[in-house]
Amino acid sequence: MNKILIMEARSQNKLFRNFFAGGLVLKNLPFIYFAGVLALIYIANAHSAEKKVREIHRLREEVKELRWHYMSFKSEFLFSSSPTQLVNDVKYLDLGYNKNSFNKKLIKK
C-alpha cells in the first residue's frame, strides 16, 4: 500500500515538473507575456477613463457655478444701467434732471 502511494506521489510530482519545467508553460511563455501586457493596458485604460469622468464632472459643476455668476452679474448690470437707476445714482451730483433728455432727437441739416 505504501509503495502505491509513493509511486502515485512520484508520478504526480513528475507530472508537475513536466508541466512547469519543460512542457506547456515554457512553450506558451510568449502568449503569457502578451496576455499580461494586455491586462496591464486594460487596467491603465480603466484608470484613465475614471480620471476623465471625474474631470468632466468637476468641469460641469464649475460651468454651472460660472453660469450662475454670469446671470447674476448680467442682471445687476442691466438693472444699474437703466435710465431711472442712473438718475438715482447721480442725484447727489446735482446735475439737474430733464425728463426729455432720454428721448432721441433728430437734427436735420
Report pLDDT digits (tens) over 10-24: 555 665 665 565 667
The phi, psi pair for 23, rounded to 5°, reads -110, -115
Output the pLDDT for position 77: 86
Output the pLDDT for position 8: 59
* Residue 99 covered by a domain: no
* Residue 42 covered by a domain: yes
* Residue 24 covered by a domain: yes
* Residue 92 covered by a domain: no
* Residue 62 covered by a domain: yes
Written as nine digits, the cell of 48 is 484613465
**Reported pTM:** 0.51
Confidence of residue 80 (pLDDT cuts 50, 70, 90): confident
Greater pLDDT, 20 or 80:
80
Q: Would you say 68 and 61 are in contact if contact means Cβ atoms under 8 Å apart? A: no
Instruction: Provide the domain count of the chain.
Output: 1
Output the pLDDT for position 7: 56
Residue 69 has pLDDT above 90, yes or no: yes
* Residue 96 covered by a domain: no
Handedness of CA 43, 45, 49, 52 (dihedral sign): positive
The residue range of the domain holding 30 is: 2-85
* Residue 102 covered by a domain: no
Query: Environment class of residue 49 by beta-carbon count within 10 Å: exposed (0-12), middle (13-18) or buried (19+)?
Result: exposed
* Residue 72 covered by a domain: yes
Output the pLDDT for position 5: 53
